[in-house]
Structure 1
Amino acid sequence: MQTLHVSSPDDYAAAVAAHPRLLVDYHKDNCPGCTMLDMSLKKFAAEPGADGVVLLKVKLEQVGEEFFRGLGLRQTPTLAVFRDGAEVARLPGFQSPAQVAQAVGAHL
């Protein structure tokens, strides 16, 4: 699984448009759940189901709180699944590696 980091809303839009199988990790610093989700994503990345999936890391402190609110995000971490540029699932809060794999399997 390839991992990309965005630093602006424009980077975000370009990445969503460019990658047909995308997981987006909306996170922030000093967030225990975000740290735990990051560990789950690293474990999922080693599984066969992660092949061809791109992970996009979007940090609140870099893109801004207004951007997060504009997307309707209410908590970090939140994991979103995008297929062909469209959000098909949103998973708020910590997700185990099995839950990540299930979401990818169901939607990608």
Structure 2
Amino acid sequence: MQTLHASTPDDYAAALAAHPRLLVDYYKDDCPGCKMLDMSLAKFAASEGAAGVALLKVKMETIGEDFFRNLGLRQTPTLALFKDGNEAARLPGFQAPPQIAQAVAAHFAAADAG
């Protein structure tokens, strides 16, 4: 699983356009749940289900609180799944590796990994 980082709204938009199967991790530095989600994502990245999926890390302190508010984000961590640039699911709070795998399988099953 390829990991990308968005520092600006333009980086964010470019990643959505470039990756048909994209997990977006919205996080903050001082968030214990975000650190736990990082560990879950690392475990998921090592699984077969992560093939063809890219991960975009979006840090609130870097991209700005207004950007988060404009997306309707109410908490960190929040994990969103984007299929062909459209949000397919939003998972607020900590997610265990099996929960991530289940959401990816459910929402990206019909997507072509190519």
Give the TM-score band, short-chain normalised: over 0.9
Please give the secondary structure, in 1, of the residue aligned with 2:74: coil
Please state how far the C-alpha of 1:15 moved relative to its aligned partner: 0.5
Q: Does 1:93 align with 2:93?
A: yes
Mapped to 2, the partners of 1:7 and 1:85 lie a distance apart of 18
**1:40-89: CA deviations, max 9, x gaps?**
00000000000010000000000000000000000000000000000000
Q: Does 1:18 align with 2:41?
A: no
Q: Does 1:31 align with 2:31?
A: yes
Please give the secondary structure, in 2, of the residue aligned with 1:73: coil
Q: Does 1:52 align with 2:52?
A: yes
TM value normalised by structure 1: 0.99
Please give the secondary structure, in 1, of the residue aligned with 2:58: strand
Aligned-residue CA RMSD (Å) = 0.3
Gaps of 5+ in 2: 109-114
Q: Percent identity?
A: 77
Mapped to 1, the partners of 2:41 and 2:101 lie a distance apart of 9
Please state how far the C-alpha of 1:13 moved relative to its aligned partner: 0.5
Residue matched to 1:83: 83
TM value normalised by structure 2: 0.94
Please state how far the C-alpha of 1:31 moved relative to its aligned partner: 0.4
Kindly tell me the number of residue pairs found equivalent between the two proteins.
Answer: 108
Please give the secondary structure, in 2, of the residue aligned with 1:72: coil
Please give the secondary structure, in 1, of the residue aligned with 2:5: strand
Mapped to 2, the partners of 1:97 and 1:37 lie a distance apart of 9
Runs of 4+ in 1 over 3 A off after TM superposition: none
